[in-house]
Amino acid sequence: GIQVEQSPPDLILQEGANSTLRCNFSDSVNNLQWFHQNPWGQLINLFYIPSGTKQNGRLSATTVATERYSLLYISSSQTTDSGVYFCAVESGGSNYKLTFGKGTLLTVNP
């Protein structure tokens, strides 16, 4: 099945700093999503982005489908950005399921 690798596994930032999270995947995808799992365990949809670039406030994401990677940018980080960020993909060979990466644990210190 498709492989999804996220980097870095852990990231510690000072409030106000910028960061880039990366997601590499091993096959073409129909769906790519970024999620934020907050400290209460909720999985919050950030972006649905199988290709192209999207922005939502301080967050933006870019997926280069031909090169099989996606990037999540967080600017001016806040303590509420802390949590685990997951990339998940659905590929033509793995219909009807999202395959998740292992996540990036982000800690933003005040």
Contacting positions for another protein (CB under 8 A) = 30-31, 33, 35, 37, 41-43, 45, 48, 84, 86, 88, 90, 95-100, 102-103
Helices and strands counted in the chain (H then E) = 0, 11
- Please say which residue, 17 or 65, places its beta carbon nearer to another protein: 65
Q: Is 46 left (phi over 0), alpha (psi -120 to 50) or beta?
A: alpha
Report the amino acid identity of residue 100.
F
Q: Phi first, then psi: what are they for 90, rounded to 5°?
A: -125, 125
Q: How far apart are CA 39 and CA 64, in angstroms?
A: 30
Shortest distance (Å) from residue 97 CB to another protein: 4
Shortest distance (Å) from residue 62 CB to another protein: 17
Shortest distance (Å) from residue 21 CB to another protein: 15
- Please say which residue, 35 or 108, places its beta carbon nearer to another protein: 35
Tokens of 63: 């997926």
- Please say which residue, 17 or 98, places its beta carbon nearer to another protein: 98
